[in-house]
Amino acid sequence: MPETLAQKQERFLEQTLALDQVLDAAGQAARGIVQPAALKPVLFEEGARLESPAITADRRVFIGAHSYMNGQGYLRSNVFIGRFCSIGRRVTIGAGGHRMTGVSTSPLLDAGPMHRHYDAQEVVALGLPAQETIGKPTIIDSDVWIGDGAIIMPGVHVGVGAVIGANSVVTRNIAAYAVVGGVPARPIRTRFDETLSARLLASAWWELSSERLKRLPLGHVPRFLDALEALSPQARAPHYATFAIAS
């Protein structure tokens, strides 16, 4: 049986996520793959669409089922995107950074890890950041909407169902179903109250196929959840495979 999205995320972070299938040209055509050249460096599920370049090595980007990212943006390495995400134009996820705790921010003068160490007292005394986020994984959970021009910094975790306003700069984790905006991005409101948000999170509805979901009352959340909870365990079993495009 295919893994759940949570299991895939865990294995992605451990760098042990395995492929179910490598798609050749015929396999891509059979699944209606759009922009195969853009998807070539990444791991993805059914219906994923990427129109911005992925700057990565060793397939260190994952895009979940039916998520899409429009053009003119960038996906940096070590990024995990859940399912049913809507990502606008000119969006950068896992933005690049420069180390600020040495003599220079220039990569040319980055002396390597052996010369970066400060002890705990020096960090406090010199007013240095407690930890750098460069290279840390950036996680976008399912059903996230990211507006045009937004920048998501590395190491950030964006919760399920969050909405990020256009041109926002996200420097901190965002809670599930929060609506945020600004520079830096700050909470504006929530999509639903705590009870409804908790039910949505517990439902893990993103494990269902799009065909199954379309048969449920998607426009009315309580009715949708009631209908979803009445489904058999077999109908809710995970079924999304992990693909890559042949090199």
- What digits encode the pLDDT tens for the residues 163-187? 999 999 999 999 999 999 999 999 9
What range does the domain containing 153 cover? 5-97+134-235
- pLDDT at 246 (0 to 100): 87
- What digits encode the pLDDT tens for the residues 210-236? 999 999 999 999 999 999 999 988 888
Do residues 154 and 138 make contact, with C-beta atoms less than 8 angstroms apart? yes
Residue at 33 is within a domain: yes
Mean pLDDT is lowest, of 51-55, 59-63, 134-138, for 134-138
Residue at 68 is within a domain: yes
Predicted confidence (pLDDT) at residue 247 exceeds the cutoff of 80: no
149-164: average pLDDT:
97
Residue at 104 is within a domain: no
125-129: average pLDDT:
79
Which percentage of the chain shows pLDDT scores above 70?
A: 96
CATH of the domain at 87: 2.160.10.10
Backbone angles phi, psi at 192, to 5 degrees: -140, 165
d(CA 76, CA 168): 18
Q: Which among 66, 98, 115, 220 is annotated as catalytic?
A: 98
Predicted confidence (pLDDT) at residue 41 exceeds the cutoff of 90: yes
Residue at 118 is within a domain: no
- pLDDT at 130 (0 to 100): 65
132-158: average pLDDT:
93
Which percentage of the chain shows pLDDT scores above 90?
A: 72
Residue at 89 is within a domain: yes
pLDDT-derived band at 147 (thresholds 50, 70, 90) equals: very high
Provide the number of structural domains found in the chain. Answer: 1
Query: Environment class of residue 62 by beta-carbon count within 10 Å: exposed (0-12), middle (13-18) or buried (19+)?
Result: buried
d(CA 86, CA 208): 18
Residue at 63 is within a domain: yes
d(CA 121, CA 104): 22
- pLDDT at 77 (0 to 100): 93
The answer to whether 115 is a known catalytic residue is no
Question: For residues 246 and 162, which has the higher predicted lDDT (pLDDT)?
Answer: 162
Residue at 58 is within a domain: yes
- pLDDT at 186 (0 to 100): 98
Of 241, 227, 243, nearest to 61 (Cα)? 243
3-state secondary structure of 178: strand
Residue at 69 is within a domain: yes
| β strands within 91-182, DSSP E | 92-93, 138-140, 145-146, 151-152, 157-158, 163-164, 169-170, 178-181
pTM for the structure as a whole: 0.93
- pLDDT at 109 (0 to 100): 81
pLDDT-derived band at 127 (thresholds 50, 70, 90) equals: confident
76-83: average pLDDT:
96
- pLDDT at 114 (0 to 100): 52
Q: How many CB atoms lie within 10 A of CB 196?
A: 15
